[in-house]
Amino acid sequence: MQIFVDTGLVEEIREAAKLGIIDGVTTNPSLIAKSGRSLKDVIEEICSIIDGPISAEVIAIEKEAMLLEAAELSKIHDNIVIKLPLTEDGIAACKVLSAQGVKTNVTLCFSSNQAILAAKAGATYISPFIGRLDDNGHDGMALIEEIRAVYDIYGYQTQVLAASVRHATHIRDCGLVGADVITAPLKAIKLMYKHPLTENGLKAFLSDYAKSAK
């Protein structure tokens, strides 16, 4: 399973990079807005920190305008993945970009039907939002399972990128149901390291050794 960090804050990305287990980065317009900087500046800096797929989202909502933005974003770095919303225009733009060999991440996916459309348009990644489904009384993990099943039936190569991940249990469950990638805030990724038995065990090892050390 690949692990991407979901943030627009470069200081968090620098911290995440030190962990040595981060495969890529996703951003969205809300996350970029939190940084208080321009999209281009933030994405350029992220590309200098992490050598992996970096998702940068278009702001336009019409196909031709999306394609123009995608062309500008793609100039920033070879690792750029163009993030497009799951709308008729977004899927049509995805089809054009896929044919050009541009990597894409279709975002704001909340159903298996939407995921099928993204795969048919040749998307590199589909981003189902599990936390937002859970927040609204639906079952986010069931959607990841459904998409995995339908993609496997038809052999679609689009990677399932579980997004809107809120905690470490989401990450474990995504692993169990076969998500290709999870993208999560750094805080959730750091929770993956934690287990009280690891912490207590290490304390005991060190204290036993200190007592016996000559």
Instruction: State which of residues 35, 122, 164, 188 lies at the interface with ligand G3P (CB under 6 A).
Output: 164
Q: Does residue 186 belong to the site contacting ligand G3P (CB under 6 A)? A: no
Shortest Å distance, C-beta 198 to ligand G3P: 27
CB nearer to ligand G3P: pick between 28 and 203:
28
Q: Which run of H or of E encompasses 155? A: none
From the list 147, 127, 43, the residue with the least C-alpha distance to 85 is 127
Can 194 be counted among the known catalytic residues?
no
CB atoms within 10 A of CB 34: 12
CB nearer to ligand G3P: pick between 120 and 132:
132
In this structure, are residues 7 and 31 in contact, taking their beta carbons and an 8 Å threshold?
Answer: yes
Sign of CA dihedral 111, 114, 120, 123: negative
CB nearer to ligand G3P: pick between 28 and 98:
28
Query: SS3 for 165?
Result: coil
Task: Give CA–CA dist 89/201, Å, rounded.
Answer: 54
Question: Per the residue annotation, which of 18, 34, 40, 83 is the catalytic one?
Answer: 83
Point out which residues pair with 104 in neighbouring strands. Answer: 82
Residues 89-148 close enough to bind ligand G3P by CB under 6 A: 129, 131-132
Q: Does residue 178 belong to the site contacting ligand G3P (CB under 6 A)? A: no
**Contacting positions for ligand G3P (CB under 6 A):** 6, 26, 28, 129, 131-132, 163-164, 183
Give the residue numbers annotated as catalytic, written as ranges.
83
